[in-house]
Amino acid sequence: MDDPVLLTGASGRVGQAILGGNEDDYEWRLLDREPPADAADHEVVVADITDENAVRDAMDGVGAVIHLAGDPRPDAPWESVLQNNIDGTQTVYEAAVDAGVEKLAFASSNHAVGHYETDRKPDLYREGDDFRLDGTELPRPSNLYGVSKAAGEVLGRYYHDEHDLSVVCVRIGNLTKGHPPIDYERGQAMWLSYRDCAHLFERCLEADYDYEIVYGISDNDRKYYSIERAKEILGYEPQDNSAEHDA
Amino acid sequence: MDDPVLLTGASGRVGQAILGGNEDDYEWRLLDREPPADAADHEVVVADITDENAVRDAMDGVGAVIHLAGDPRPDAPWESVLQNNIDGTQTVYEAAVDAGVEKLAFASSNHAVGHYETDRKPDLYREGDDFRLDGTELPRPSNLYGVSKAAGEVLGRYYHDEHDLSVVCVRIGNLTKGHPPIDYERGQAMWLSYRDCAHLFERCLEADYDYEIVYGISDNDRKYYSIERAKEILGYEPQDNSAEHDA
């Protein structure tokens, strides 16, 4: 990807993990309501994701978009996820298509499928369990935030089918800098290290795909999300594992 | 269903088909922005589906909801489907749960999966073709209206999983009073007669289910939507077939 990459929600945790590992490899344009703490030499756009004109301006000349902006709270109220996550995401897709953007990676979430866990926990968090979600299943959101992420995935499907935009939706697990506590089984099963997060989104910028839904977790011993599709289509090669506590 | 049934969007085409076949069998409460042309002796609530207070008032004492209200235009602009179809539907689910409603049938649409046709037409409209959608597939909307219907399905999944509301999403085909023209192959394949529409929604009020996505079409010779799930779970027994032109 030689053209500039627009990173929305750049100041958030996922944005910082992505920048941390790919800082010097792309011409970044960082968009956020809050200016990033350390933007280095990158171009910064301070704007709300629901500000259509600002989003359209920010798309100028962009080759790919990583769209993270939105209300990240699992318990966010409907009014906020409707506006920031659903309407905001439609604004980003529409502007990307109009600007001739090639690829868009959308930050979806484990909360889009959280209710698959309801009848199966805690067994599915454990190594012996072979229950797997692989991205072909229908969403089962565990909260309205998860509903908004599932809606963003459907919007991506539409903008791919209708306008030929390459779209990958990454259902991000539990992104933390350090290993999750050994007794937090769910967190262990869906851990995504900062290093693997940066690498995964780098693959979203470099690989060729049509429309994909993949899971974003490290190569944990415990897991109930399949990472096979991310490996196969994106060339994802995770290096971390929540079971290796001294890694 | 002995308790009153709330029918939103009662003045529209689907509402009129449902009432036409079940007029005397339920205590109907009809909600629409426009008063129904012929409301007989039924209770009528003239309100917009986005009017939360009016929707909450209309839920009082209701046992089941058939939710049809929304912008029905396949080419409706995003702002309208966001407000009327997505936000309006969330209002209905939330109010239904708070009022202790037992069952909710949601009018989804063939447009939620319209892009499955893109690479396969016109073959999939023909009798020899065995391509079938059965409701387990991910949405592939053909327009933003279809996106809004897919979002309504996901909302239903959430309100079922989280609040135990029984929800059935009916992906309605091509509802017309008469048979579709013989040379309109797509319309033939997804025809839903008024009689079968009324019967299908009667089954949505009477059957027991958790969360379902079914297709709403008649028993057409041509079809690429499976009606097996509707038969099995709801007891749907369609009587019409678009191939029988003199039926």
What's the CATH code of the domain at B186?
A: 3.40.50.720
| Predicted confidence (pLDDT) at residue B40 exceeds the cutoff of 90 | no
Chain segment A117-142, per-residue pLDDT in tens: 998 999 999 988 999 999 999 999 99
Packing angle, helices B13-22 and B194-206, rounded to 10: 70
- B146 contacts on A by Cβ (under 8 Å): 158
Which residue in the set A86, A144, A154 is minimally distant from B141, CB to CB? Answer: A154
Q: Are A7 and A29 in contact (CB under 8 A)?
A: yes
Encoded amino acid at B53, one letter? N
Cα distance between residue B209 and residue B168, in whole Å? 8
The binding site of B for NAD(+) consists of 84, 109, 145, 149
Lookup: tokens for B213: 């996505």
DSSP B18: H
- Residue whose entry in the numeric block shows the structure tokens 């009153």: B4
Domain presence at residue B145: yes
Instruction: Classify residue B119 as exposed, middle or buried by CB count within 10 Å of its CB (0-12, 13-18, 19+).
Output: exposed
Q: Which domain holds residue B224?
A: 5-234
Report CB contact under 8 Å: A82, B78: no
Round to whole Å and give the CA distance between B165 and B161: 8
Q: What is the mean pLDDT of residues A90-106?
A: 98
Residue in A9, A12, A18, A164 with CA at minimum distance from that of residue A88: A9
| Domain presence at residue A93 | yes
Which of B89, B91, B161 to mutate to probe the A interface, most A CBs <10 Å?
B161
Spatial neighbors of B164 by CB under 8 A, at least 6 apart, are none
The secondary structure element, H or E, covering residue B196 is helix B194-206
Q: B147–A144: do the CB atoms touch at under 8 Å?
A: no
Contact between A158 and B138 using a beta-carbon 8 Å cutoff: no
- Give the closest of A94, A140, A162 to B157, CB-based: A140
Band (pLDDT 50/70/90 cuts) for residue A212 is very high
Residue B85 lies in a domain: yes
pLDDT of residue B35: 87
- Express each pLDDT in A160-202 by its tens digit: 999 999 999 999 999 999 999 888 999 999 999 999 999 999 9
The answer to whether A162 contacts B155, with C-beta atoms less than 8 Å apart, is: no
Q: Provide the domain count of chain B.
A: 1
Mean pLDDT within B144-158: 98
Q: CA nearest B87 in A: which residue?
A: A82
Minimal CA separation from B193 to chain A, in Å: 29
- Residue A247 has what pLDDT? 45
Chain centroid to Cα A178, Å, comes to: 19
What token pair was written down for A174?
Answer: 């539990």
User: What's the pLDDT band for B246 if we cut at 50, 70, 90?
Assistant: low
Q: What is the pLDDT of residue B160?
A: 98
- What is the nearest CA distance from A75 to chain B, expressed in angstroms? 13
What is the longest distance spanned by two Cα atoms in chain A?
A: 51
Lowest mean pLDDT of A59-73, B36-50, B185-199, B228-242, name the range: B36-50
pLDDT value, residue A93: 98
> What is the SS3 assignment for chain A?
CCCCEEEECCCCHHHHHHHHHHCCCCCEEEEECCCCCCCCCCEEEECCCCCHHHHHHHCCCCCEEEECCCCCCCCCCHHHHHHHHHHHHHHHHHHHHHCCCCEEEEEEEHHHHHHHCCCCCCHHHCCCCCCCECCCCCCCCCCHHHHHHHHHHHHHHHHHHHHCCEEEEEEECEECCCCCCCCCHHHHHCEECHHHHHHHHHHHHHCCCCEEEEEECCCCCCCCECCHHHHHHHCCCCCCCCCCCCC
Average pLDDT over residues A218-242: 97
Residue of B nearest to A211 (CA): B140
Residues A33-49 pLDDT 10s:
998 887 778 999 999 99
In a domain, A65, yes or no: yes
Give the pLDDT band (50/70/90) at residue B247.
very low
What is the DSSP secondary structure assignment for residue B21, as one 8-state letter? Answer: H
Tell me the Ramachandran region of residue B117: left when phi exceeds 0, alpha when psi lies from -120 to 50, beta otherwise: alpha
pLDDT for A210 beyond 60 = yes
Residue A68, pLDDT above cutoff 80: yes
Q: What number of other Cβ atoms are within 10 A of residue A151's Cβ?
A: 30
CB atoms inside a 10 Å sphere around CB A182: 11
Higher per-residue pLDDT: A119 or B226 = B226
Angstrom distances, CA of residue A240 to CA of A22, A75, A223, A245? 17, 29, 13, 10
pLDDT at B46: 96
Interface size A-B, in CB pairs within 8 Å, comes to 81
Tell me if B154 and A139 make a contact (CB, 8 A cut-off). yes
**Confidence band for B1, pLDDT divided at 50, 70 and 90:** confident
User: Cα separation of A50 and A46, whole Å?
Assistant: 12
Express as a percent the part of chain B with pLDDT over 70. 99
Do residue B144 and residue A138 have CB atoms under 8 angstroms apart? Answer: no
Nearest CA to CA, how far is A141 from chain B (Å)?
6
Nearest CA in chain B to A151: B151
Please report the pLDDT score of residue A246 as a whole number.
53
User: In this structure, is residue A243 part of a structural domain?
Assistant: no
Strand order across the beta sheet in which B64-67 lies: B43-46, B28-32, B5-8, B64-67, B103-109, B166-172, B211-216
Which residue out of A90, A140, A158 would a mutagenesis test of the B interface target, given it has the greatest number of B Cβ atoms within 10 Å?
Answer: A158
What does the pLDDT look like over B107-144, one tens digit per residue?
999 999 999 999 899 999 998 899 999 999 999 999 99
Does B227 map to a domain?
Answer: yes
Query: What was the ipTM of the complex prediction?
Result: 0.96
Is A210 domain-assigned? yes
Looking at per-residue confidence, does B246 or A205 come out higher? Answer: A205
Count of Cβ atoms closer than 10 Å to residue B162 Cβ:
17
Place of tokens 């058939």: B66
Contacts of A82 in chain B (CB under 8 A): 82, 86-87, 90
Confidence band of B36 (pLDDT split at 50, 70, 90): confident
First-to-last CA distance in chain A?
31
Radius of gyration from C-alpha coordinates of chain A: 17
Mean pLDDT of chain B: 95
Is residue A208 domain-resident? yes
A154 vs B contacts (CB less than 8 Å): 139, 141, 147, 150-151, 154
Contact B140 A157 (CB under 8 A): yes
Catalytic residue ranges of B = 145
Phi/psi at A98 (5° precision) = -65, -30
Contact B154 A147 (CB under 8 A): yes
